[in-house]
Amino acid sequence: MHEQIFLGTATVGERGQVAIPADARRASGIGPGDKLLFFAGPHSAGLFMVKAEELGRLVKHLTEKAQSIEQLISRIENL
C-alpha cells in the first residue's frame, strides 16, 4: 500500500489558527478533543505534529529505525 504524503493545505489566520485539512484528519485519526503536540523541524524547516497519545509509539518506532541504521553502518564499517 502506498502512503499518501501530501494531505492538503491550510492558511494561517490573523489569530494564528489553522484548520487541519479533512484528508489529514482522516489519515491521522484526529478528532474533536484530541491533543496535538508540535515540534520544530530541523533548521526551522517547518513543524511536525503528532497526536499526544501516539507519541510513545512514534518514539519507539523511530528508536527501532535508528538502531537498524546504526547496525547497518557498523556492518559497512567492518567490511
| Structural domain boundaries in the chain | 35-77
pLDDT of residue 21: 95
Contacts with 7 (C-beta within 8 Å, 6 or more apart), sequence order? 21, 23, 24, 27
Sequential DSSP letters for 15-60: TS--PPPHHHHHHHT--TT--EEEEEPGGG--EEEEEGGGHHHHHH
pTM beyond 0.75 = no
Q: If you average pLDDT over residues 14-40, what whole number do you get?
A: 94
Q: What is the pLDDT of residues 33-79, one digit of tens each?
A: 999 999 897 887 888 888 998 998 889 999 999 999 999 999 999 88
